[in-house]
Amino acid sequence: MVLEITSPAFRNGDTIPQKYTCDGDDISPPLRWTGVTAGTVSFVLIADDPDAPLGTWVHWLIYDIPAGESALPEAVQGLALEGVNDFRRTGYGGPCPPAGKPHRYYFRLYALDERLDLPAGVGRDDLEKAMQGHVLAEGELMGFYNR
């Protein structure tokens, strides 16, 4: 199944506004989704940059988002648990690429058939391991950013 994830701040394939990057307020963008699958108990969102010089860079891990939610507000806090990103901090870290070519930033949303009940501050590997066998649907939104 496919979830449709959108943002009122930018369209799929468009530039992410500076406000949501390290050059701006460095706050998470607002996100919305539709197409929730029956049996969904929680959501996970993983945001990353596959164009980073050292390999895919994790910008945000947020998990155990309640199934009743269909959006994350701008600068969301306290709605769900957050993991450690590749900036080595918990929560959202906005696009911050080196100068040059535009980078792609993916916001991938997963509907799960259970809560993960992981502690706050896990890394991507532990999060993805816990998700295995529990993904009911997924969707993605991609934006560009260049400095």
Render pLDDT for 33-72 as a digit per residue (tens, 0 to 9).
Answer: 999 989 999 999 999 999 999 999 999 999 999 999 999 9
> Which secondary structure element, helix H or strand E, spans residue 129, and what is its range?
helix 124-131
> Which CATH number does the domain housing residue 33 bear?
3.90.280.10
What pLDDT shows up at residue 2? 87
- CA–CA separation, 44 vs 115, rounded Å? 9
What pLDDT shows up at residue 43? 98
Q: How many domains does the structure of the chain reveal?
A: 1
Q: Full-prediction pTM beyond 0.95?
A: yes
Render pLDDT for 82-141 as a digit per residue (tens, 0 to 9).
Answer: 999 999 999 999 999 999 999 999 999 999 999 998 999 999 999 999 999 999 999 999
- 102-133 residues labelled b (16+ CB within 10 A) or e (exposed): ebebebbbbbbeebbebeeebebebbeebbee
**What domain range includes position 141?**
4-145
Q: Is the pLDDT of residue 1 over 80?
A: no
What angle is formed at CA 96 by the lines to CA 147 and CA 30, rounded to 5 degrees? Answer: 105
